[in-house]
Structure 1
Amino acid sequence: MDEILSRLEDISDTDLRAELQKYGVVIGPILKSTRNLYLKKLTKFKAREQGLVIEEAPVVTDPPETDLEVADFKKPANNFKESVTLANSNGSSDKIYYAVSQPPKKSPYSNGLENWIFTDQLSACRAAKSVPGARFKNFSSYADALEFASTPAPLPNTLMRGDEPKPANDLPSLRKQDLNKLRHLIEQDKYDEFEDTIRSNAKYLVNSANDLPTILKEGVRYNALHVCATHNRDAFAKLIIKLIKDKTLMKEMYSSSDDDLITDKTDILLHSYINGCDGIRGDTPLHLSARLNHWQIAKVILQEPILERNRVNKEKEKVEDVIGDRVKTSREDKEKFMKLLRDCYYVPILRAEDFSSPPQIGEAVQTPPRTAKIGQNSSPLRVHALAGPMSAEDASNFKKICTSPMKRAIRCRDLEKGMEKVGRSAAKDMKIGFSEYWEFLDDFADFSTIEGLQKLEDFLSVKYDYADDIGDITKQLESLILNSPKSTKQADEVNEEVFHDAQCCGMCNECTVNGDSFIEDLESEPVFLTGLNATKLDAEVFQAVEEAGKDKIDLKTFPKVALWRKNVLHHNQYEKMSDWSSPKPKSFQIRRTELNPIFPDIY
């Protein structure tokens, strides 16, 4: 071989091409990089003519494509097993072995494991594709490849995620027509139908694909709050914000009972609604309300602590830069909107839950926090009341009134609500809003407003419905024991005397006119905020409602509030309301008593 190759080294390219063409070899250009290859081919042909024996490695051919492309791959090429056996018998080899491992349910090894070990990647890839769930890997050792092929491949589902994932909720998907219908309800001011639609499916508010606001208007990418700002629907905006904060609706959306998870998702969703940008100029709902001079909905948005007041759009414009640029707006209207933006300060009253520190008046801020940490060793202070919105000057005056030495006696006499009483009185004199946190509602409420009284009405309605169910059972038991006409007559006289009492509810003329429904409520068992007995909590809420004015309590609109007010007036008239027992646990009352001597010095 070497002698033949040495003789052919001096042959010219033309002669080399001619010699190879005699043997039927199709060759390309003869270059420096290809000349040696063609010389070796010509040397092999010359050697065979002279009868010389050439030792070559066994040639492994690919399995037929017809056998590999079928779904149930069974056997490779005929000479494949022989080539692998020869390579294995020679010991170590420079070859790379590609082993195919298959799922256990396929039972692929009836023809032997060696049939699933290859020496070229293409054949291994075809074999792996022929069986769903199979995989292959390369090895330098035949023993390692055989071990891999004998190990069943894990199933794809168990490999990645375990059990099959369950859907997040059972709520039906929404079509584009459904979202357009919801947008038309806002534009046409159909509040009741809008509320029913949203409560029927949380996906009207939340996009289940990314947990962000649902887009109601494509192109400009308006969410529901953008549409409300465009058409000045402040009532709709209040409802949207309320429903987003409603954990019941969010739990229905996410099918989870984890309060921390629901709270995080609620905060992200509310932030996206309040500060979300549209698809044109990057305007937030507050930007749109300013452009159209819709100060009513702007007032609603400005009350949210999560609002980013200094947010700019794509054109680097703040809210005050775009007031009235899409409508004809007079100077007075612009100044009114600017005053709304300026006079948006809130003064919080902070309290420690365990009374480890006295209540404090926080600094006037435009975005009041719900919690505030004062010191490293103290309990976190939480916002228990919020006065505002108001101007910076009014905020300063409000703080001076609340911390005045003249109000010291009120603050010290009532550690639970003393500071709130002072703030409530000051807010009433200054004609600003004052919202308090009430534990029995688990929410902030201002009982001088219709919204606050409605929250109290809804709470009392549930209490009275439960009491009516218990009362029905009690009456049935009493009818079995006491069924004499004398006792019935005495009970009627007592009920009639209570009904015609001059102080029954402060609105006796209205009570008489409204007929039987209110009379039946007067005859029922009195119900209070924490049970069948009045506590200090009833006295505190009663005082807050009285300061708002009893003329606001419409008997037709708030019948349960009027009935509860009557029950508080008639409960234990020989004892002052301030002496009623506290609904707090005894451990809380003892802690409060221990701290009582300290508070006068701190105030």
Structure 2
Amino acid sequence: MSQTDNSLIQTPSINYNLDSQREPVFHAVYIPRDEENKSVEGSLHVYVDKVAALKIINEHKKGRLKTFKTRAEAESFARNGNQQILSRSQTVPLLPLPEEKTNTFKGPKPQDLVVFRKLIESGDIEAVRKIAWENPRYLVSSADTPAILQEGCRYNALHVAAKVSKTPQMCELILNIVGDPKFVKLFYGEDESKNYLNRAQILLDLYLNTPDKFLNETPLHFAAKFGLKEVVRVLVSYPQCVKTLRNKYQQTPAEITCSRRFSEDETLKREIRNLLEDQYYVPVLRSEDNTLQPSIGEPFSPTSPPQFKLDPISPILEVKAFAGPMTKSQAMEFRRKWKTPPRIICNGPNRRENCSGEPFMHSPVAALRLQDTEKGLERVGRDLASEYKVPWKEYWPFINDFADMRCNEGLKMLEKYLENRFKESIMIAEELKRDQELLKYDKNFQGQLEDHMADPFNETDLCKQLESLNVDDDSEEFFTPPSSPILDPFSDTEDSEDEDMYLAEEGLATYIDGNEPTKLDYAVYNAISTDINQKIYPNIYRWLHEMKVIMDHDERRFNKGTLVRRRLLLTPDKPRFQHFEKS
């Protein structure tokens, strides 16, 4: 190798094989310029023979080898490494890739995971929730997969809950946590480039469908073979749950139902297998502007959601209530009975004794559609769901959610809402009482002022009266008494006076929305079971009592088929009169 000027670098000789038909390649070796490699500084290692390049790598452990098609790229790599590699068509240097941020949570120790598994097995929901939100690594591993709580079989938290837990709430808790975007955001940290919802859905799918190592079974296999019907109901309620996965012996969850139970229960086995079929729901469809009559839609399942006609002219239909889940055959029968209930022909040979002699076709659904357009179909479907013993949900606008007011979950939501409403009513009542006291105070002062005007020369008495009333004569604050009640021109005067007198005697009542009972109050009243525990739901009990008193007072309006009239048709933002407490 000959020594050149500073711009030239020594290069090992390259022997080209002219007989070779292949295009030559160049093997470049980059050696970092550190203290250990000062002796090689100034040398450029580019070879055609790969064996010679490997010898250089063996001599310098920090060296890096890379192959190029052009000599210019090879020399650039041998001189600068990956800092700047330019090709013939590339003139912009490579930008560094953003580094993946690691989460700040430490992985739990094996003994901590054992304690966490024991809490799941014992059904301690609050402890499991607290630990999972304090450190997401108990449920998510460093590889973004379900954390393993039992080595060997490789059980995750849902395997443990579906196998041992007697309550479905533990399974539902685990799935709700890992499927919550807030939980995923807590695990990964703040990052605008991440889609936490997609990651939560992926994590939820992994928990539901990851098999164990021993028998290749999912949590659904566990729940089915141990006969845990409610756990199966929770698992299949998630669309991500695959019901047809096979275990080590090519068996689906339906095929091993109740196989690990000590006693045979054909009824339980049939119910679990029904749950493992595709679940269907029967909906109530309503237009968002109420321009169309409500209708009972076709049964649908999570895998095949309801399809509405995309007509730009017709109003948009929405699901406002639904019954289910149930099997397809049950859903078809439920819809048929809901849509065409039994009819009674009163003038035929099979007419009932309680029918009148007039020809009349009796249909509960038709009657309720005419009498209660807001919740008529829901009332029939609610009773039918109770008869078939299937879950029921309907949409309530004041809580902005679907709920069943006959179950504990719906009653808790209503109790919380009414608690806030009663607090608002108390504040309004106190404000009205304060206004009445100020009104009486103003009238008292006005009367004393008129007495003084009759004797204008008695200034001493006037000063004493002002001091006794603690009134500052320089004050510019004036109090305006409440306005007079607004009368309804379309109602009977006698009925209105009796109604005002009745409400004044009873005090200020509280309603779902507004200052007067509306159709919504009547709908909620009919949706709630009459057997309410006063200690558990005190606000619901009080509200039901107030509504019962009002309905008993106006029996003609509420109990004789005229379900919605006069005051019930008024909107809450246009009250017909104001209520004042007795002084």
What is aligned with 1:318? 252
Question: Alignment RMSD, CA only?
Answer: 5.7
Gaps of 5+ in 1: 1-59, 64-74, 88-93, 488-496, 506-525, 584-603
Deviation at 1:434, TM superposition (A): 0.5
Q: Deviations over 1:413-440 (max 9, x none)?
A: 8777554444224324544321134566
Instruction: In structure 1, give the amino acid aligned to 2:332.
Output: S
Q: Which segment drifts farther, 392-401 or 277-286? A: 392-401
Displacement of 1:184 after TM fit? 0.7
Match of 2:152 in 1: 219
> Residues 314-362 of structure 1: CA distance to partner in whole angstroms, max 9, x if unpaired?
21223343233323213xx232331343377532316488569876544
Distance 1:136 1:312 in 2: 47
Distance 1:95 1:178, change over 3 A: closer
Structure 2 SS opposite 1:221: coil
Out of 533, 536, 542, the residue aligned to residue 557 of structure 1 is: 536
2:274 is matched with which residue?
342
Change (3 A) 1:569 1:314: same
Match for residue 52 of structure 1? none
Report the counterpart of residue 456 of structure 2 in structure 1.
none
> Cα offset for 1:185?
1.2
Q: Report the AA paired with residue 154 of structure 2.
A: R
Per the alignment, residue 262 of structure 2 pairs with 328
Which of these residues, 73, 94, 97, is aligned with residue 162 of structure 1?
A: 97
Q: In the aligned structure 2, how far is the partner of 1:547 from the partner of 1:259?
A: 46
Say if 1:173 and 1:562 are closer, same or farther in 2 by CA, change over 3 A: farther
Decide which of 377, 382, 385 is 1:427's aligned counterpart: 385
Q: Matches of 2:517 and 2:506 in 1, distance apart? A: 24
Task: Confirm or deny: 8 A CA contact 2:29 2:77 kept in the other structure.
Answer: yes
Distance 1:397 1:321 in 2: 26
8 Å contact kept, 2:282–2:335: no
Residues 452, 159 of structure 1: alpha-carbon distance in 2 compared, 3 angstrom cutoff: farther
Please state if 1:267 is matched with 2:201: yes
Q: Which letter does structure 2 place at the counterpart of 1:434?
A: W
For residues 177-231 of structure 1, what are the alpha-carbon distances to aligned partners after superposition, in whole Å with 9 as ceiling and x for unaligned? 2222122112223233233323333333333523x43332222232323222322
Amino acid in structure 1 at the alignment position of 2:268 = K
Task: Provide Cα deviations, 1:72-91, integer angstroms capped at 9, x if missing partner.
Answer: xxx99xx9849779x9xxxx
Structure-2 residue corresponding to 1:294: 228
Query: Cα distance, 1:387 vs. partner?
Result: 0.8
* 1:308 to 2:288 alignment: no
Per-residue CA distance 1:502-527 (angstroms, 9 max, x = gap): 7999xxxxxxxxxxxxxxxxxxxx69
The change in CA–CA distance for 1:337 and 1:137 in structure 2 (over 3 A counts) is: closer
8 A contact 1:243–1:249 mirrored in 2? yes
Q: Indicate conservation of the 8 Å contact 1:347/1:361, yes or no.
A: no
1:543 aligns with 2:543: no
TM-score (norm 1): 0.57
Q: In the aligned structure 2, how far is the partner of 1:479 from the partner of 1:327?
A: 69
- Are 1:451 and 2:409 an aligned pair? yes
Task: Give the alignment of 1:515-534 within 5 angstroms.
Answer: none
Sequence identity (%): 24
CA–CA separation in structure 1 for the residues paired with 2:504 and 2:118 = 51
Matched, 1:249 2:178: no
Greater helix content: 1
Residue 579 of structure 1, aligned match among 562, 566, 569: 569
Aligned-residue offset at 1:256: 5.8
Q: 1:101 to 1:277 in 2, by over 3 A?
A: closer
Per the alignment, in what secondary structure is the counterpart of residue 194 of structure 1? helix
Give the greater-gyration-radius structure (CA).
1
Q: Which residue of 1 aligns with 2:322?
A: 386
- Equivalent position amino acid for 1:557 in 2: I
Aligned to 1:511: none
Q: Secondary structure at the match of 1:270?
A: helix
Cα 1:84/1:558, change in 2 over 3 Å: same
The amino acid of 2:536's aligned partner reads T
CA distance in 2, matches of 1:561, 1:260: 44
CA change 1:401–1:179 in 2 (3 A) is same
Q: Match of 1:342, as an amino acid?
A: N
Q: 2:168 aligns with which of 210, 230, 234?
A: 234
Quick check: 395-404 or 567-576, which moved more?
Answer: 567-576
Cα deviation per residue 1:565-598 (whole Å; 9 max; x = unaligned)? 6798899999867525499xxxxxxxxxxxxxxx
SS of 2:281's equivalent in the other structure is strand
Q: Structure 1 residues 414, 257: closer, same or farther in 2, change over 3 A?
A: farther
**Which residue of the partner structure matches residue 192 of structure 1?**
126
The counterpart of 1:400, out of the listed 336, 346, 354, is 336
Unaligned runs of 5+ in 2: 17-22, 86-92, 341-362, 443-500, 555-564, 574-583
Partner Cα separation in structure 1 for residue 516 and residue 122 of structure 2: 46
**Is the alpha carbon distance of 1:479 and 1:376 closer, same or farther for their aligned partners in structure 2, counting shifts above 3 Å?**
closer
